[in-house]
């Protein structure tokens, strides 16, 4: 039995509320159980300097946690004068994942910045950020299309992510913090709506894992993607 009482292959409840930030071109509040992340998308007409004259657009991301997103207060990274290595790694992952789902030539020479702010953390914050970040990106691109700033849709497919791991010898889908902190194997899977892999992060946390166990976790992740994509589709209508 899982600490949450869920079945081994059961996702946490997922909800995505859109239009939560008045000024952002796209925004949503995604809730995956007790993990809540605010995601916003900002359209900037100027691409990064290294893309000037290429005709290609760019999607980038920033990630952060509010001081009381966890059970103890964390100092704001701005107050410390630098981002942690974990923060930098996560926001690069979010940016890579979302760029994999777009046609950058169709986006044109502009940048869309995705900001992911964790309001409350209970495991899987990077996965929730990717899933919600895609919704914010989709809404921003819809505005570009509606305003005829672009002529074709640059979004190729849904992009979402889910964590899986081996806890007490059992493969589990969508780990919460109690499971993640005790998991023998921990993995994050980023996939497209069509089931193509974008990125897999897996590590042994005190116990090695077999190729067969890795396959079991991938099977769980693919099953979880159906729920995530359904939630994305419901959110954007």
Residue ranges of the annotated binding site for phosphate are: 86, 124-126
Residue showing tokens 């902190």: 181
3-state secondary structure of 149: coil
Q: Is 5 left (phi over 0), alpha (psi -120 to 50) or beta?
A: left
Annotated binding site, which residues? 86, 124-126
Query: What 3-state class would DSSP assign to 86?
Result: helix
Q: What single-letter DSSP state applies at residue 51?
A: G
Strand-pairing partners, residue 111, are 44, 58
Report the C-alpha gap between 203 and 164 in whole angstroms.
Answer: 11
Paired tokens of 14: 């997922």
User: Of 161, 147, 226, 148, which is closest to residue 191 (Cα–Cα)?
Assistant: 161
Q: Cα 177 vs. chain centroid, distance in angstroms?
A: 17
Element (H, E) at 217: helix 211-236
Asked if residue 94 lies in contact with residue 113, where contact means CB atoms within 8 angstroms, the answer is no
Q: Which residue has the tokens 């509606």?
A: 146
């Amino acid at each position: 039995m899982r600490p949450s009482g869920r079945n081994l292959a059961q996702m946490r409840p997922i909800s995505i509320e859109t239009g939560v930030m008045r000024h952002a071109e796209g925004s949503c509040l995604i809730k995956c159980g007790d993990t809540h992340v605010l995601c916003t998308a900002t359209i900037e007409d100027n691409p990064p300097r290294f893309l000037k004259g290429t005709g290609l657009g760019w999607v980038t991301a920033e990630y952060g946690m509010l001081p009381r997103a966890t059970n103890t207060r964390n100092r704001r990274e701005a107050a410390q004068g630098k981002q942690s290595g974990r923060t930098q790694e996560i926001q690069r992952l979010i940016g890579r994942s979302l760029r994999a789902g777009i046609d950058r030539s169709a986006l044109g020479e502009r940048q869309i910045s995705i900001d992911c702010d964790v309001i409350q953390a209970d495991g899987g914050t990077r996965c929730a950020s990717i899933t919600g970040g895609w919704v914010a990106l989709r809404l921003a691109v819809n505005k570009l299309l509606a305003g005829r700033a672009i002529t074709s849709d640059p979004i190729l497919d849904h992009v979402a992510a889910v964590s899986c791991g081996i806890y007490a010898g059992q493969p589990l889908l969508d780990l919460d913090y109690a499971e993640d902190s005790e998991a023998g194997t921990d993995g994050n899977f980023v996939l497209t709506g069509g089931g193509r892999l974008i990125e897999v992060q897996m590590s042994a946390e005190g116990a090695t894992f077999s190729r067969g166990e890795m396959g079991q976790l991938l099977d769980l992740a693919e099953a979880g993607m159906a729920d995530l994509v359904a939630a994305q589709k419901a959110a954007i209508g």
